[in-house]
Amino acid sequence: MLLEVENVTAGYGAGPNILDGVSLRIEQGKSYCIIGPNGAGKSTLLRTICGLLRPRSGRIIFKGEVLNNLRPDQILRKGICFVPQDRSLFPEMSVKENLLMAGYTLTNKQDLEQRIQTVFEIFPVLKERQSQLAQTLSGGEQQMLAMARALILKPDVIMLDEPSLGLAPLVAIQVFESIKKLKELGMTILLVEQNARKGLECADWGYVLDLGKNRFEGPAHSLLHDPQIEELYLGKRRGTRPQGKTRTLEQGVDGS
Ligand SMILES: Nc1ncnc2c1ncn2[C@@H]1O[C@H](COP(=O)(O)OP(=O)(O)OP(=O)(O)O)[C@@H](O)[C@H]1O
Ligand SMILES: [Mg+2]
C-alpha cells in the first residue's frame, strides 16, 4: 500500500469534525475517484492528506511513514502533490515561467528543463502556448497547466480537486482525457470530482464519501452501474443532496 488513510477525523479550528473516521487505501499506479454530495468533506480530505489540515485522530501513512505531524512542504517533498480547486497558478507569469516556478527547488536546472519538455509531451498545447501568460489561457488549458506544474516534481501521488469545475463540457472532456493519459503513464491519482460519472470513468476504484464518512467503495465500473449509487450519487445536478426516491421520466409531467 502506497498511501493509507486510517480512520481519520479532522475539522477546522475549534469546529466540529468534518471528517468523521475516513479511511482510504491507495495502491501504487492505480487511480481513485472520490465522489459524494457537496459538503461531504472531499476537499477537506485532500487538504488533510497534504498537510494543510492536521488529523485530530487516526493516521495517514505514506510509504510506511506516518505523515500526521508533517507540514505541507514536507509532505510535498515526500511525493504527494495537491492540485487545489482554485488551481493556484501565477496568472501574470507565462506558461513556461509557471513550470519553472513549480520546479524552483530543483537545483539541477538541466534536469528541470528536461522535466518541462516531458510535461510538454503530455500536454502539447502547453508547449504551443509556453510564452503566453497563464491568465490568458482557457479554463481547460489552465487546468492542464496546474496538472503539469504538479508533474514537474515527479510526485508519487497526484491529488486533483474538481479539475473539471467551471469548464464547458467539451473542455472538461479534454481534461478527463488528460487524466486518463496520466493514468496510462502509470501515475497514482486521487481525484475528487463533482462530475461523478466522468470521474469514475477515469478511475480503477471509487469511494463515496457522505457527511464525513465512507459510505460505499468498490471498483469504479461497478459503482457506475450500481442502481443504488446511480440513484443517490450519479447523474444528479451539482448541489442536490440525495433525498430518497427520485422521480423518473416515466412518471410523466403530471405525476401520473
Ligand atoms: N476553511 C473552512 N473553515 C470552516 N469550515 C470549512 C472550511 N472549509 C470547509 N468547511 C466546511 O467543511 C465541510 C466540508 O467541506 P468540503 O469543502 O470538504 O466539502 P466537499 O465535499 O469538498 O464539497 P464540494 O463538493 O462542495 O466541494 C462543509 O460543511 C464546509 O462548510
Ligand atoms: Mg470540494
Q: What is the pLDDT of residue 88?
A: 85
Angle between helices 109-122 and 169-184 (to 10 degrees): 120
Out of 8, 19, 35, 44, mutate this one to test ligand 1's pocket (max ligand atoms within 8 Å of CB): namely 44
pLDDT value, residue 87: 78
Least distant ligand from the CA of 212 = 1
Question: In angstroms, what is the span from residue 161 Cα to ligand 2's centroid?
Answer: 7
Q: Looking at the DSSP assignment, which residues form a beta bridge with residue 83?
A: 160
pLDDT at 90: 95
H, E, C per residue of 125-162: HHHHCCCCEHHHCCHHHHHHHHHHHHHHCCCCEEEEEC
Whole-Å CA distances, 37 to 31, 50, 78, 214, 215:
20, 22, 31, 12, 11
- With a cut of 50, list the residues of the chain below it in pLDDT: 237-256
Calculate the CA dihedral of residues 88, 90, 92, 96 and round it to 10 degrees.
-130
Ligand 1 geometric centre to CA of 42 (Å): 8
Tell me how far the alpha carbon of residue 248 lies from the centroid of ligand 2, in angstroms: 28
Question: What contacts 10, CB < 8 A, 6 or more positions away?
Answer: 17, 18, 19, 44, 48, 53, 54, 55, 56
Which one of the ligands is nearest to 239 CA? 1
Q: Supply the pLDDT for residue 92.
A: 96
Q: Are the CB atoms for 80 and 159 separated by under 8 Å?
A: yes
In this prediction, residue 255 carries a pLDDT of 36
Q: What pLDDT score was predicted for residue 100?
A: 96
pLDDT score at 114: 95
Q: Which atom of ligand 1 is found nearest the CA of 212?
A: 14
Q: Best substitution site from 43, 194, 240 to test ligand 1's pocket, by max atoms within 8 Å of Cβ?
A: 43
Structural domains present in the chain: 1-79+190-237 (3.40.50.300)
Output the pTM of the full model: 0.90
3-state secondary structure of 83: strand
Question: Which residues does ligand 1 sit against, CB inside 6 Å?
Answer: 12, 15, 18, 36, 38-44, 194
Nearest atom in ligand 1 to the alpha carbon of residue 36 is 21
